[in-house]
Amino acid sequence: MPQLAFPTQTVTPSQWLSVLENDDIDALCRVNDTSSNQAVMAGKFFTLETDPASREILIHLKHLPMKDQQVLNQVTQCCGDETLALAGFLSRYFSEQNITKLNTVIGSAATAASARLDAFETAVVNYQKALNHLWSLSHNNHIGRGHAARIHKARLEVKKAYQQLQHRFAIELRRYAPEAWRAKNRGDAFSNSERGITLATRNPKSQTKDVRLNLENRLQASQLKVMSRLINHAGNMAIGLDASLRALKVMDIQEDGGDWMRESARQITGFGFGGALGLVIGRATFAAGSSVVAASGLTMAGPVGWIVLGTLLAGSLVAGYYAGSAMDRFGQERADWIMNR
């Protein structure tokens, strides 16, 4: 996963990355077209990976105009990893194309056009329309008490439209932050727009530690989606398989002339106990494991976090399986116990 760093003060790579081996420092410097004793200016990009994709990203960013690079640096200082969420949000809602679309709806009185807007865009359009209405009322040179009342009402409309816009802004912005960050309470900068404004106007010279811009690999994200779909299907298939095997057992006993109704009752009870309690114990294992991981501080993003997640999942699946088997036998015994009374 490509990683960019922005040093907060002018520093040489050999000082800044002193925790790494000298060979690694030299490799990184080669990728960044610098040397380990040459100072890197504060606010310049420095990539921390040596693969070709990172190099391409670095070259692409270096060709930005100087002013844009400075703005990018300041935004990442304030917002850290949330910068990517903000970028996604802005490119979705305030690209040239989208602004044109919004302006068309604001200008027209037709309601059919506004059916194509989503909730945030509707809030923006309503706010703009309220402002336009207030402007036209204030500039049409009427006077009188009726007119003043109309202007007062228009002001209230503007305030209401702005509140709706703030509410929608917070909701939509949060969609661009990955779920793992939201669960870890890292969306604070965007929990409401006032907080966002406060952070954006914070003193950019504050001495916080280096901010890294993680560029999520889109391929990884889509692989995660495929994996979750596979897990969903595998879960359903496992239940189907269990049920079929039990049905086969009952049918075998029926063919041999045995007491298949008793066996059927046993198997159904076992199915219920095994399935349900296997889930319960699997959940308990996963939750307890997550508590332990959080307490020990292993909650990291990226590949390390995924290894932890994989271990937790595997552990809970194994626990669920063994518990489910034991519960299955227990359930069958209970069915026998009832039938023997």
Partner 1 sequence: MNSELTETIISIAGIGSFLVMAISWISFARISMTAIEKRMAADGLPRPCSWDGVGARAFWIANAISLPVGSLLNPSWDLSIDSITVRRYATRFDCRLGFVFTISGYGCAAICLIGVALGYAN
- Closer residue to partner 1, CB minimum distance, 147 or 262: 262
Amino acid, single-letter form, for residue 133: H
Q: How far apart are CA 96 and CA 106, in angstroms?
A: 15
Concatenate the DSSP letters of all residues of 222-268 into one string: HHHHHHHHHHHHHHHHHHHHHHHHHHHHHHHHHHTTS-HHHHHHHHH
At closest approach, how far in Å is the CB of 99 from partner 1?
A: 21
167 - beta bridge partners?
none
334 sits near partner 1 (criterion: CB under 8 A): yes
| Under 8 Å between Cβ of 84 and 214 | yes
- Closer residue to partner 1, CB minimum distance, 43 or 187: 187
Neighbouring CB atoms inside 10 A of 267's CB total 24
Q: What residues numbered 230-269 form the site for partner 1, per CB under 8 A?
A: 231-236, 238-239
Site string for partner 1, 161-200 (x = CB under 8 A): ----------xx-xx---xx-xxxx---------------
| 98 contacts: CB under 8 Å, gap ≥ 6 | 92, 121
At closest approach, how far in Å is the CB of 143 from partner 1?
A: 44
Q: Using CB under 8 A, pick the residue from 25, 263, 282, 319 that binds partner 1.
A: 282
| 16 contacts: CB under 8 Å, gap ≥ 6 | 7, 40
Q: What sign does the dihedral 117-191-89-70 (CA atoms) show? A: positive
Q: What residues numbered 44-73 form the site for partner 1, per CB under 8 A?
A: none
327 sits near partner 1 (criterion: CB under 8 A): yes
- Closer residue to partner 1, CB minimum distance, 152 or 283: 283
- Angstrom CA distances, 219 to 3, 86, 215, stand at 16, 20, 12
Site string for partner 1, 202-221 (x = CB under 8 A): --------------------
Binding residues (CB under 8 A) for partner 1: these are 119, 171-172, 174-175, 179-180, 182-185, 228, 231-236, 238-239, 272-273, 275-277, 279-284, 286-288, 290-291, 293-294, 299, 309, 323, 326-327, 329-334, 337-338
